[in-house]
Structure 1
């Protein structure tokens, strides 16, 4: 896909440079045409072994993000209602002084951290961010994990003993796939890095396979499915339990290689006994006969896999959903099976190398609500109340890293108000957005094409084992700082400044200073090279440099069973937390009560990703995509017309949005996309403000969380819709 030329088009020879798009999880390989250090075209790289030439509009917009006049290119500090450019040296001192002052006055827990989604996409954050964040010594840690994926990690921790042991659907070899709450045609996969989903799903059908999708609306993915079931939002856990019930009831349990490793079959059989398909059908909207037929088809297929993503994670029973999906794959022998769900074996395996913590659960709880932590983080749903509720441990300072929680966490209006009352705030961001506008100091890192890249995390989630290192496409400005350089400098300055606040011995502090000074000299590329050599990876840095298009390491292979046997570990099918939860949800899941209340769900679009891609004209041009979807029957019952403005209200807020009446959504359900709402004062995003839209998270409820994991329950929010 070529980019339009401008009146100031560069002259001179054109070079082809290999890179990657790290805007979403697909990590597609790209080729850039560069002339006089300016990008003139972006195309998919057909030689890339994972993406195979696939490209979507977001990748082309990398040029827009790089050249965006609204992007910050040097630090700024807030002076009243205006922003003042400052030097990096001034900025680092202001940040350290502000954080240390709050810590001295109010204690360690008064400083909080929020890490947004791009923190994982930029590998400098992964390699060096901990140097700074660990210095803060706070338990007030939050991230986008508890916005969308915490149930996955909790299920993996319960069953396999490690939060990142996430078996990935072997989509290129499966014969039968059941997909819940996912739209990979728009997302290119999520916790399943799978670019070119259209090609992969078409190949599934061409080899005689079958795709079944459960989703309350018709999506780009359901259009390619063999069967689509419009399940009631928020009822997926009940349906999944009815599948487990059917596996036992019809003697379809065949764990195969897992027979000697799994424990608790009898206890699980007894626990799911109430949830027959006949008992849950009225609640889920899926006929019992269909559930039983799909379960039989799935169990009798030798290579099958069940996969659930955002729609099932971000609901009141997200942890139950992700646990049940794993259990169904286990009971049918499809975990660690070719064509089922397999662990990846990336070149630098962070799990086997011991570089990724296995996690822990409910070691401490939040101060106000008592929500459980996971892997050292508290749920984002409690972040605002921890700022607004007085008392010991009240959050009074915040560090945000590559995140915009005002638009991406529940009850954004409340969080907006909470941020206004902080004593100090710093944002690592290159935009003045809905969240960073509250900061006292903003530190802008380089843009995506200005630094090198290696997918340390997403290669653990890819549907094929590959390795690819990309050098910077264009050079950064002389005074720019990469994210790893920002964190390294902050870590060293903060450690020196906060010396007297540390409880460790003088010798431990000296060792810490030395370690941070050493890491500050090691770029992510050097860390990668050392890691590949030390952990005997199948490739070396020289190989990656010689093959910038990527190196194919082959399809996924069975390894989890062997790993657990080697470690003499077993899998308990019914974790204690789940065993306690099932009796509590029985009455709800077996209820036949109907309600006229509309349920709000989200919606993904291929041209957007979270909240920070709306300042590119090419991504927001065309028809307005921030509209409320509603079924014609629901519109008629409320005397609403297509195209009119309607008021949508929930417990926490009210918004005005255009209505789109369509039969492509289940009755009783309405849908809004995520990431919009750029009409707040002080935002400096000209294109985004011209296409402001409304924020779905001005409606989602911070009190609605998954009881087990604490993950935000964005899906199935009760709302009322009326003429504006």
Structure 2
């Protein structure tokens, strides 16, 4: 049976053999247009993820200090009644949702977000806002959308610069090891790694800039200053596609590059070579959590956009292409929600999980009192486990929808078992550069069918939130004409 891996956003194609409703063998799918027979060890071990001893099979309710099995009607009804009371007394700002990667099946997340928003709340806490907040912020200000990504055209590039990205181990692009190995071995191409550590990717690189940890912003500012001073920037591209270029020049004109590179513990000549190569080649870059979870992440993300823009590398063959949607949460717009206590604005419609405990455990009448958690484990994924444990203990309602019992689920008032991706219908989408047609991007949407059956009473997460929405009175009755049309196959007007 064909499916995909669910352990990262690439979703490499897999073929699984199922016996007695168990995945007993996994192999890479050679027919997958995205992965073409490539898979890492995470994908080869998805059976351990699916057939977990802690899988949740039935709805459960906390009674005292233990859980009791209950039916779906009771679970949905009781949760709806408790939530109605909270909203009547404290309003929609007392409600929040929390979501994680969700096995890279994003349909459930859309149902959760729709459910909470229909109740009037905009508080959505997401792991994405912890990982990518700096990038979202910078891309919103420079590209116009906080959810636009600058992805590398690695198939057609002459130079790939990995910034805080160890692709040989963390992957995060289709066929990462194949791509990096090909670039590394091609005498006409250049692989540059910016990383304090001699990572697995750095070991195969042509140039490794082993900068001092935490000095990424200094290095990038130095590189931009060198390119501008040496006249290596693409003025033609800037004139056509870049606004505000003259306004940023003073920030680089008087910058002491030599002193900055001393702090970075790098040689000027080595950095100069990288600048020259990046400016003259069909170059692209790939950044990752090495900088996104580091100091000055928003500034670094901004400088990466500036570097690409002045070299004319955005939206061109072999450079970085734009992928994503139009989302922008304007912090200056009074309609943009902020957290009640910490006064943090939403970025791309999401809030950072690390402030959530403060938004719960305080004496404010506007504090959070109810939370719905979907396939996330804040007690293990986010900072300060103790703070989260204490804060969740103060909630009037905590509902966790999960495939397996977790530390967070153990604190919930209700635990609702959802189906895994391998028990559900979903899609896996990908945008990748073409190998054969330069400048062309291939867009794939792969249907994932269930490959195993549920062995309990699990429901798809979308159905769970639809049932909750119905119990909350959010779903209007359909007119008889629609039922008649469904039966006859036509609608008379």
TM-score by length of 1: 0.62
Q: Counterparts of 1:517 and 1:379 in 2: how far apart (Å)?
A: 44
Check conservation: 1:65, 1:447, Cα contact below 8 A: no
1:470 aligns with 2:448: yes
Q: Counterparts of 1:486 and 1:474 in 2: how far apart (Å)?
A: 20
Q: Counterparts of 1:242 and 1:518 in 2: how far apart (Å)?
A: 67
Match of 1:343 among 300, 318, 322: 322
Match of 1:513 among 476, 480, 490: 476
Alpha-carbon spacing, 1:471–1:81, altered in 2? closer, same or farther (3 Å): same
Match of 1:489 among 467, 476, 480: 467
1:513-537 CA-partner distances (Å, limit 9, x unpaired): 3589999xxxxxxxxxxxxxxxxxx
1:224 aligns with 2:204: yes
1:317 aligns with 2:292: no
Q: Counterparts of 1:465 and 1:224 in 2: how far apart (Å)?
A: 30
1:392-449 CA-partner distances (Å, limit 9, x unpaired): 2111221111111122222232222211222220111122212221110011111221
Q: Which residue of 2 aligns with 1:27?
A: 11
Question: How far apart are residue 225 of structure 1 and its match?
Answer: 1.6
Match of 1:76 among 39, 54, 60: 60
**Equivalent runs, 1:521-560 vs 2, <5 Å:** none
Check conservation: 2:374, 2:401, Cα contact below 8 A: yes
Q: Counterparts of 1:139 and 1:168 in 2: how far apart (Å)?
A: 29
Check conservation: 2:225, 2:253, Cα contact below 8 A: yes
Question: How far apart are residue 274 of structure 1 and its match?
Answer: 4.3
1:360 aligns with 2:330: yes
Q: Which moved more, 1:259-268 or 1:471-480?
A: 471-480
Q: Which residue of 2 aligns with 1:104?
A: 88
Q: Which residue of 2 aligns with 1:129?
A: 112
1:161-204 CA-partner distances (Å, limit 9, x unpaired): 22232221011221112111112222221xxxx23211111111
Q: Which residue of 2 aligns with 1:240?
A: 220
Q: Which residue of 2 aligns with 1:165?
A: 148
**Equivalent runs, 1:661-700 vs 2, <5 Å:** none
Q: Which residue of 2 aligns with 1:250?
A: 230
SS of 1:272's equivalent in the other structure is helix
Alpha-carbon spacing, 1:288–1:434, altered in 2? closer, same or farther (3 Å): farther
Check conservation: 2:160, 2:284, Cα contact below 8 A: yes
Check conservation: 1:238, 1:275, Cα contact below 8 A: no
Q: Which residue of 1 aligns with 2:490?
A: none
1:53 aligns with 2:29: no
Question: How far apart are residue 256 of structure 1 and its match?
Answer: 4.0
Alpha-carbon spacing, 1:36–1:407, altered in 2? closer, same or farther (3 Å): closer
Q: Counterparts of 2:327 and 2:125 in 1: how far apart (Å)?
A: 17
Alpha-carbon spacing, 1:297–1:518, altered in 2? closer, same or farther (3 Å): farther
Residue ranges of structure 1 left out of the alignment (5+ in a row): 1-16, 345-349, 497-511, 520-724
1:472-516 CA-partner distances (Å, limit 9, x unpaired): 1122347331111112111221235xxxxxxxxxxxxxxx63589
Q: Counterparts of 1:317 and 1:518 in 2: how far apart (Å)?
A: 58
Number of residues of Structure 1 aligned to a counterpart in Structure 2: 472
Alpha-carbon spacing, 1:461–1:357, altered in 2? closer, same or farther (3 Å): farther
SS of 2:34's equivalent in the other structure is coil
Q: Counterparts of 1:288 and 1:479 in 2: how far apart (Å)?
A: 63
TM-score by length of 2: 0.89
Match of 1:433 among 406, 412, 426: 406
Q: Which residue of 1 aligns with 2:308?
A: 329
Q: Counterparts of 1:277 and 1:466 in 2: how far apart (Å)?
A: 44
SS of 1:182's equivalent in the other structure is coil
Q: Moved runs in structure 1, 4+ residues, more than 6 A? A: 460-463, 515-519
Q: Which residue of 2 aligns with 1:508?
A: none
Q: Counterparts of 1:338 and 1:269 in 2: how far apart (Å)?
A: 27
SS of 2:199's equivalent in the other structure is coil
Check conservation: 1:142, 1:380, Cα contact below 8 A: yes
Question: How far apart are residue 268 of structure 1 and its match?
Answer: 0.9
Q: Counterparts of 1:182 and 1:318 in 2: how far apart (Å)?
A: 14
Question: How far apart are residue 320 of structure 1 and its match?
Answer: 1.1
